[in-house]
Structure 1
Amino acid sequence: MSRMADAVSSTASAYARDDDPEFVRLAAPSTLKMVEMLLDGQPRHRGLLMTACSGFAQYAYGFLQVESEKRARDNPEESRDLRDRAIHMYDRARGYCLRGLDAAHPGLSAALARDPQTALAAATQADVPALYWTGIAWGGALSLSDNLLARVGELVAVRTLLGRALALDETWEDGAIHETLIVFDGMPVLLGGSASRARAHFDRAVALSNGESAFAYVTLATSVALRAKDRQEFERLLGAALAIDPSRRPRIRLANLIAQAYARALLKDADRLFR
């Protein structure tokens, strides 16, 4: 059982290299369900917990949230259903993420709710993946909330998770933490956002990824350019995302393909977005 758990824990990288998003959309649920079944027998297996944490979060974004936003114009009801499913999937991911943090640092999830800064002081570079994916899962659900202002305390926890991960290893996964922080710093000032900080994270993410991650461009377009109603920059950024050759970075091929599909949908919907 332990060997099987270890093997299943390593499946994420195989999916990340895939060149067929639809195949992964159909295949991933079976893998994630198997991970949950294995966790029933080994509830503190850190590899399985991280696979569930990151896997459900990635599925929520790539196949639910993005699809919801792509269908917002033509099918609002279906879009809302997908949005609700994405929130549920992000919450599911967060549960596994917090269990993973507790497996490494007993009691951390409870401490995180009380005082995030103090709770994460003992985190080390080895914890960066767990900190990142916990922030992604928690923040993903918050980003889809109907009333984010009412959950600003949780937003502080998410920022603290990502900030601690950044402090421990800002180069992790070629700038992935910086990419994610574009989203949160692209929020309104009332929620702690700052367009200048978002642009600084974008510049650093592009530098660390050698400009080969489409997600950075799509994120700045949707989080900053769209909010500023700068259509010229919006279209320029999405064009840059589409110009990336996914085969140049096989390790993130799937993420690039999903980001590029989203970029095409956004360009198609630009007239509505900039009304």
Structure 2
Amino acid sequence: MRRLAVNRLGDALAQSGTTYASDDDPQLVREALPFALKLIESLLEQSPRHRGLLLAAAGGFTQYAHAFVQQDADEAEDRDLRTAAALRARALRLYLRARDYGLHGLDAAHEGLARGLRADRIAALEAASKEDVPLLYWTAAAWGAAIAAKKDDPDLLADLPIVEGLIRRALELQPDFDHGALHELLIAYEGSRSEAMGGSIERARRHFEEAVRLSGGQRVQPYLTLAETVSVRRQDRKEFESLLKRALEIDPDARPEWRLANLVGQRRARWLLARADLLFAD
């Protein structure tokens, strides 16, 4: 009876993400999310294989770390290196926690899949189905963010092919997932690596175009990601500023389900524009 009650509560919590996503007050969400995430974790102690809760934990910890902790770290970089380093370390821990919840979620449906990723990722991911795409996405997003947060960690860097495998498999199963979210990940994946490391500015631009098409140009993230990766790498300040200004022109209320993400992204866009002199040599 207790497990049934926990599972029912877990089902309700797992479906509550839109309440946060449509909020117009990022600070309120920032203060509320830790309690919600710890509640999810307490329920997972009672029902550790509840896929809805595992997905909510993977997505929730990733978004909290990215939107708030990572942004705080980036903003602290110019004034207090010690504080910035501590915040980055915290963001890394949260990303890894999110990744592990995602892997547990995949394992809950496909026993041994997480372990198989290190042995033969292609074979392991063959077991995944369209139903697994949200978990594939959030596991990849969290894992990729962890790698980006600590680029000097060889063990994490060695996991990059696994992250790519998760994204590619999800793309095979549902290329239009969440209005281009997978393409948003691939803008960063392709655009942040040099050609020698297997990256491609051309592929990054194609994923940008697809992400914009699938979202109707109403999501900030594609513009933000292309500006931070490709424009900065190419030292193209004109493109950088154009992309960020386009992101700031998006009306957060046009698509309520993306309101919070767009508001958070626009805050970062304004911060990046203010730092342009530091990012570009000319």
Coarse TM-score class (shorter-chain normalised): over 0.9
1:160 counterpart residue number: 165
Structure 2 residue 131 is the aligned partner of structure 1 residue 126: yes
Q: CA RMSD in A?
A: 1.2
CA distance in 2: counterparts of 1:189 and 1:119, whole angstroms: 28
CA distance in 2: counterparts of 1:179 and 1:78, whole angstroms: 29
CA distance in 2: counterparts of 1:196 and 1:168, whole angstroms: 23
* 1:216-235 pair list within 5 angstroms: 216-235=222-241
Structure 2 residue 59 is the aligned partner of structure 1 residue 54: yes
Structure 2 residue 50 is the aligned partner of structure 1 residue 45: yes
CA distance in 2: counterparts of 1:9 and 1:67, whole angstroms: 27
Provide Cα deviations, 1:123-174, integer angstroms capped at 9, x if missing partner: 1111110100000011110011132666443000000100111111111110
CA distance in 1: counterparts of 2:35 and 2:156, whole angstroms: 33
Contact 2:144/2:163 (8 A) holds in 1? yes
Provide Cα deviations, 1:206-263, integer angstroms capped at 9, x if missing partner: 0000100000000000011011111111111000100000101111111101110000
CA distance in 2: counterparts of 1:130 and 1:268, whole angstroms: 35
Deviation, structure 1 residue 7? 1.2
Provide Cα deviations, 1:166-218, integer angstroms capped at 9, x if missing partner: 11111111001001110100122233211110000000000000100000000
Farther off after superposition, 62-71 or 255-264: 62-71
Amino acid at match of 2:242: R
2:92 counterpart residue number: 87
Contact 1:13/1:251 (8 A) holds in 2? yes
CA distance in 2: counterparts of 1:159 and 1:231, whole angstroms: 29
Deviation, structure 1 residue 274? 1.3
1:251 counterpart residue number: 257
TM-score between the two structures when normalised by the length of structure 1: 0.97
2:203 counterpart residue number: 197
Contact 1:225/1:233 (8 A) holds in 2? yes
Structure 2 residue 213 is the aligned partner of structure 1 residue 207: yes
Farther off after superposition, 74-83 or 246-255: 74-83
Partner SS for 1:74: coil
Aligned residues between the structures:
275
Deviation, structure 1 residue 273? 1.3
Amino acid at match of 1:124: S
Partner SS for 1:255: helix
Where has structure 1 moved over 6 Å in runs of 4 or more? none
2:119 counterpart residue number: 114
Gaps of 5+ in 1: none
Partner SS for 1:246: coil
CA distance in 2: counterparts of 1:66 and 1:195, whole angstroms: 25
Contact 1:91/1:138 (8 A) holds in 2? yes
CA distance in 2: counterparts of 1:258 and 1:171, whole angstroms: 23
Amino acid at match of 2:274: K
Partner SS for 2:253: helix
2:140 counterpart residue number: 135
Contact 2:151/2:157 (8 A) holds in 1? no
Partner SS for 2:23: coil
Deviation, structure 1 residue 17? 0.8
Which of 264, 268, 274 pairs up with 1:262? 268
Contact 2:102/2:135 (8 A) holds in 1? yes
- The alpha-carbon distance between structure 1 residues 231 and 150, as it changes in their structure 2 partners (threshold 3 A), is farther
Deviation, structure 1 residue 101? 0.3
2:246 counterpart residue number: 240
Amino acid at match of 1:226: V
- The alpha-carbon distance between structure 1 residues 190 and 150, as it changes in their structure 2 partners (threshold 3 A), is farther
Percent identity of equivalent pairs:
47
Which of 13, 16, 27 pairs up with 1:11? 16
Provide Cα deviations, 1:82-105, integer angstroms capped at 9, x if missing partner: 111110000010111000000011
Amino acid at match of 1:116: R
